[in-house]
Structure 1
Amino acid sequence: MPADRPEPAVSHPLRIAINGYGRIGRCVLRALMESPYRDRLQVVAINEPADLESMAYLTRFDSTHGIFPGTVREVGGGLEIAGRVIPVFHAKDPADGPWGQLEFDLLLECSGVFPTREHLQAFLDAGCPRVLVSHPGKSAADVDCTIVHGINDDELRADQRIVSAASCTTNAAVPILDLLERRLGVDGAFLTTLHSVMNDQPMIDGYHHTDLRRTRSAMQSIVPVATGLAQGIERMLPDLAGRIQAKAVRVPILNVSAIDLAVNLRQDTSPDALNALFTEAARRRPDLIACADQPHASVDFNHDPHSAVVDLGQTRVNQGRFANLLIWFDNEWGFANRMLDVARTWADQFQDPAAASGRTVSSSSSSGV
């Protein structure tokens, strides 16, 4: 949706606000502290319904990513994090947030509870200049564009107001499928996501979800769940429309997920040839793809910032064209880093007068791996 008025070009660090300070919101802030973008992006506000004491505690102590490496304390109505005071608000409804009173450039919507354009438009109506969403949206029409960093960054424009950073699984799968389609051709693919537990599952059986499987204890069972991964991939790679199927199961671990990818290729290949292809892609895009050649378990990829880590030892090929791959990804940390990548790339558009007049981003950060 185009802006009602042109946004002024700015040259200050990108000022971001975070709405929703749960797993992804906290990871985004923490990833920024460890990021080369920390001088270019600045968190100026956090909105989270939870109380300030709990927010400070869960920032300092994280069961998955460890103790925060800097100071965290409550200061007045905000949090002092690594020496910087960040105001905190507790609005549950977008209209109740103080967005129009803040000076900032971009809202990172990390709560995951606003799936439609109508929901997201409420943030704009309340004074947010732009919104970057931590999920794909209920449909493609709910956002101005969906970005998988490294694939279609060149679709970002200065006049866009609602942009999606896709999902953790889409960010893991799309770079690999895009590479296979461009180099070998893909006749069809089936993806099974082995995903760590999430907050919509109970620790013990309980009335947590309309999906009856998600009423069962997350830590006692492997639980099949619905997934929109196939639709998300086809949104990003429309040439593969009708050739992608997917399913997902939740597994009883806190973090790190995997995709078991079965793919029918159009050209003959071998495990060595495929692994050479992935190794070269990782060399060219070390920010997105990595390759693992040791006998790893999932815990080894906790806090890994890559979109996808190809387990070279698990590459299989049957009868020349039927390949099976195992792709690891930290569903929290990798995705938090991709949100920062998209925010930084989008800022190159709306903070740069030349970009605002129609120049696209550099090809070094877009259009495939």
Structure 2
Amino acid sequence: MGKGASGKIIPEKVRIGINGFGRFGRLVARVALERNDIELVAVNDPFISTDYMAHMFKYDTVHGRMTEADIYAEDEQTFSFSGKKVAILGFKELSEIPWGEHGVDFVVECTGNYSMKDQAAEHLKGGAKKVIITGFSKDAPMFVVGVNECDYRSEYNVVSMASSTTNCLTPLVKVLNDKFGVVEGVMTTVHSLTATEKLLDRPSRKDLRDGCANIIASTTSATKAIGRLIPRMNGKIKGMAFRVPTADASLIDVAFKLDQCVSYEQVCEAIKEEAEGSLKGILGYTEEDAASTDFIGDSRSCILDAKAGLSLGNGYFKLMAWFDNEWGYSHRVVEFIIHMALMQRTPSHFQTHHARESQ
């Protein structure tokens, strides 16, 4: 058995399945296949062929080609990743997906269509033991790595990983509140395109302004989620979103009122200290003259841009932080699955053996 960063024993290998092989589905798969403590054994998507799955997995416009791996479809039920076989399923009803037959312990729900707890719980009927929703959920327990993952309990069968914006905002808020106390705040996220936005004007059930050759004013779930993740912040942070026509990498622009009268330099130093300490790999800090594309492929959840912020006086500060809304979030999903596996009271259903520590 290998050991994680916390020194705890890691079950080897944790077997996962993915429902929905879109942007997040493919990137979670990429992250999982880079690790030695997790195994992707099955993918369910009734709307795309195995050949197309393999092609889209290998070639990614934003994150590049997977040149180090030999990826191809063996047949309609299997694709191969450097000799590792992944079962391909095509069920439309969640309760009918035979996860148990493939030995899947954790299902990553990536379709965006089943965000309610009872909806995602349909995966359990097919033999899955746990379900992770990649997005905001109104009623499932919600977690952000670096903020409240210690609140996870093994009896939770369906959990939410919130949104990528929430994963950027909450570590920053946690540090500021722990160090100085946050009275209130207003956040705007300038967010790259998602699967919701369309290239050309067309009917949209979500927003009449979804033609992506625009800057689109929108809503964000991040400020709804933060009160559940950090209860002391409930009702203290408001926010909105702008969708912009870039493929990946986003930012948050946050104005805070702090309890303590401190300088902007003290605020930056506190964040830098945590970025190099307890939140290393999750929180980042930069003083470079950077732009959004510089953060594509960055696996951290939140990178403070120290040069872009300022003090507004009287305890008010304006901060900006970058994040790769795809790659960073996908890393947190996989890391939380490992955390869930560690927390199981009866982990005997996981296959274990001696292995080197995962990078």
Scaled by the length of structure 2, the TM-score of the pair is 0.90
> 3-state DSSP class of the match of 2:209?
helix
Determine the structure 2 residue equivalent to 1:367.
none
Structure 1 runs, 4 residues or longer, greater than 4 Å off: 351-354
The partner residue of 2:217 within 224, 227, 249 is: 224
Q: Give 1:353 deviation, angstroms.
A: 5.9
- Counting only pairs closer than 5 Å after superposition, residues 1-369 of structure 1 correspond to structure 2 as 11-34=11-34, 38-49=35-46, 50-69=48-67, 70-76=69-75, 77-137=77-137, 139=138, 141=139, 143=140, 145-214=141-210, 217-218=211-212, 220-284=213-277, 285-350=279-344
**Alpha-carbon contact 1:269-1:317 (below 8 Å) kept:** no
User: Hey, what's the Cα distance between the residues in 2 that align with 1:74 and 1:28?
Assistant: 19
User: Hey, what's the Cα distance between the residues in 2 that align with 1:28 and 1:88?
Assistant: 16
Q: Which one-letter code corresponds to 1:68 in the other structure?
A: M
Q: Which one-letter code corresponds to 1:45 in the other structure?
A: A
**Alpha-carbon contact 1:269-1:320 (below 8 Å) kept:** no
**Alpha-carbon contact 2:249-2:292 (below 8 Å) kept:** yes
Q: Which one-letter code corresponds to 1:73 in the other structure?
A: Y
Considering only aligned residues, what root-mean-square deviation do their CA atoms show, in Å? 1.6
Q: Which one-letter code corresponds to 2:60 in the other structure?
A: D
**Alpha-carbon contact 2:284-2:300 (below 8 Å) kept:** yes
Q: Which one-letter code corresponds to 2:332 in the other structure?
A: R
**Structure 2 CA distance for partners of 1:40 and 1:123, relative to 1, 3 Å:** same
- More displaced 10-residue stretch of structure 1: 40-49 or 123-132: 123-132
User: Hey, what's the Cα distance between the residues in 1 that align with 2:123 and 2:329?
Assistant: 22
Deviation per CA, 1:279-333: give whole Å up to 9, x if none. Answer: 1011112111111111100000001100100001112001141100111000000
Q: Give 1:352 deviation, angstroms.
A: 5.6
**Structure 2 CA distance for partners of 1:46 and 1:351, relative to 1, 3 Å:** farther
**Structure 2 CA distance for partners of 1:210 and 1:280, relative to 1, 3 Å:** closer
**Structure 2 CA distance for partners of 1:162 and 1:210, relative to 1, 3 Å:** closer
**Alpha-carbon contact 2:223-2:239 (below 8 Å) kept:** yes
User: Hey, what's the Cα distance between the residues in 2 that align with 1:30 and 1:169?
Assistant: 21
Q: Give 1:11 deviation, angstroms.
A: 4.6
Q: Which one-letter code corresponds to 1:317 in the other structure?
A: S
Determine the structure 1 residue equivalent to 2:351.
none
- Structure 2 unmatched ranges of 5 or more: 1-9, 349-359
User: Hey, what's the Cα distance between the residues in 1 that align with 2:74 and 2:12?
Assistant: 25
User: Hey, what's the Cα distance between the residues in 2 that align with 1:33 and 1:210?
Assistant: 34
**Alpha-carbon contact 1:114-1:120 (below 8 Å) kept:** yes
Determine the structure 2 residue equivalent to 1:5.
none
**Alpha-carbon contact 2:163-2:221 (below 8 Å) kept:** no
> 3-state DSSP class of the match of 1:249?
strand
Q: Give 1:126 deviation, angstroms.
A: 2.5
Aligned residues: 335
Q: Give 1:12 deviation, angstroms.
A: 4.0
Determine the structure 1 residue equivalent to 2:3.
none
User: Hey, what's the Cα distance between the residues in 2 that align with 1:11 and 1:303?
Assistant: 27
**Alpha-carbon contact 1:11-1:351 (below 8 Å) kept:** no
User: Hey, what's the Cα distance between the residues in 2 that align with 1:174 and 1:260?
Assistant: 13
**Alpha-carbon contact 1:53-1:74 (below 8 Å) kept:** yes
User: Hey, what's the Cα distance between the residues in 2 that align with 1:80 and 1:166?
Assistant: 31
User: Hey, what's the Cα distance between the residues in 1 that align with 2:58 and 2:98?
Assistant: 26
Q: Which one-letter code corresponds to 1:128 in the other structure?
A: A
**Structure 2 CA distance for partners of 1:27 and 1:353, relative to 1, 3 Å:** closer
**Structure 2 CA distance for partners of 1:343 and 1:353, relative to 1, 3 Å:** closer
> 3-state DSSP class of the match of 1:128?
coil
Q: Give 1:351 deviation, angstroms.
A: 6.4
Q: Which one-letter code corresponds to 2:306 in the other structure?
A: L
Q: Give 1:153 deviation, angstroms.
A: 1.5
Scaled by the length of structure 1, the TM-score of the pair is 0.88
> 3-state DSSP class of the match of 1:62?
coil
User: Hey, what's the Cα distance between the residues in 1 that align with 2:260 and 2:123?
Assistant: 48
